[in-house]
Chains A and B, each alone.
Chain A
Amino acid sequence: MRTKLLIATMALAGATALLVSTIDAQDPGETRQRMADLGRQHKTATDLYEALKADANGGRRLIPARLPDWTGVYTRARGGITYDPDQPRGGPPTAKLTPEYQARLTRRIEMADKGVEWDPISTCAPPGHPRWLTEPFLKEFIVTPDQTWLVNEMVNDIRRIYTDGRDHPPEADRYPLYNGDSIGFWDGDRLVIHTNQLRSGIYQRRNPDYTDQVETVEIWRKVNPKLIEVDVWVYDPPALVEPWYTKQSYAKLDDQGKSLRIRYWHCGENENNSVVQTEGGSTQFRDFTFTDQDNAQGGRP
């Protein structure tokens, strides 16, 4: 029985290896379909991650003298603040949602069309992962042998990816985290990441919700000197009928003048940015310090 299981696992890993290794030569539409199929072939994010790890013979350990060069300042290359960069313009998100979460999304879009919109990060909460992938400002990626830090400028938001061979914490000791717990391994020039232990959130405005059961598998790769691409599979059974595959990308910004710097980001430093959720569920400024009306009223609403 154990032998059969081992053979089956090796066969699945072999199929995964063949699929991933041949994907580079495909056109984007075909690649997207094949990657989505790869997600469907694995019931959970853990299954997909373990198959990729088996394919990579457990992955390799980086040595300081031969680290991938991911230096520089990056920003999201495509997608604006839509989660899936390949979402048709004006069309709905590409996720296949369960009826409950489809209804939530439909209502969110309908209300936004009526001018009623609230974003949970308006109170300066971090966006959390997988929304982290979509935030539009500056990013840095710091590779070391034992950890890779994925840094988002907004709210000083760092994802630490442990590549030193450790596992996730025991299930009984897990609790919801904004960016979850991420472990990974290197497969050639690819960084493969599994993230669990996440909090619920939204992928973006006018995009679906995800639950605290959400998990992701990512494959990060620098495809040329100016671009890092990321294959992302999101698993979230309460909200998604099947894994949601997207390709994210980050462009290295031209910084010949060495003027780009990532500074400390204090979301509450300017009270003129403070907003509140109205009784109707929408967004309004709390107060301005520059209008006679607001100063006289001592704030609103």
Chain B
Amino acid sequence: MIRIPFMAGSLPVRLTWLCTLLTCVCVAAPAMAESKLTKTIGEVQPKIVKIYGAGGFRGLESYQSGFLISPDGHILTSYSYVLDADQVTCTLNDGRRFQAKVLGADPRTEIAVLKIEAKELPYFDLKQAAQGVEGTRTLAFSNLYGVAFGDEAASVLHGVISARSKLDARLGAYKSTYSGPVYVVDAMTNNPGAAGGALTNMRGQILGILGKELRNARNNTWLNYAVPISELTDIIEKIKSGKAVPVSASDLVGRLDRPLTLQSLGIVLVPNTLERTPPFVDAVRAGSPAAAAGLKPDDLIVFVDDRLIHSVNALKELLERTESDAQIRVTVMRGNELIEIPLEAAAPATN
């Protein structure tokens, strides 16, 4: 399976994707740097683990990647259905195969720690984890597409950190339970098997763990990302020491008992007929908080606090997550002017 962005695959796309995949080593790096790069890659590869488990049907691959985080066989990987198997097999870089025990998993950060019975293994010391910024050159190590077998080394992609951003699932931009910071990279890591792989800098220092195949719903592109190690050290330690409290994914998104409503503000919007009806104010009820604040018919609501409102639906969703007694700042477009209006719902009548 190769990701074809919008349409079912036309040939050129497939080919170039394959080329990207096969171009393992820094293309444009001068010859002088190559030996250093080769050395770095050679040092990292022994820490990468090929993981096999459940899957293998309905387009779900039965493999993923991981990397060693202790000399005693602790492996950090992605928390996924692959681990939901009676036997999870780990193949080390030297070809040795082990049955792994799933020590624990954290659905919030979508990571899991495995343990194999081995000693004196090469590993990433998470205390020595590095940080990256936009433009930091990176190497991504993973067994994407499962091309490496046995003692074959994992695949390496080179790229840079495109952005440091947050996966804010609440905004509906990403369907992920993790909502913390990520490194977005420009190497194509959003392919089967890459999840759980290692993102390093050009010195081979660990930066993060490669994330799952995930779409950016705001522009319908596949996202290539890694979760920084600094976001994970606590939970990894907890899992390793057996202190992790399992969290169910459904606990993560809460709903408010008494959210703010347009009704309580006194705002009537234009009929919501489209998927993205622009949130124009149709009427303002007399005597309402909105009227007192000076909101007017035909105002277009473009921001609530600093959040852009794309549509009537987006506004309603945002209000559902806002407490009924919260004060909000509404920015409207009136004519060709942006006007900021503080707004507070009327206190509910007490009896």
**Do A and B come from the same complex?**
no
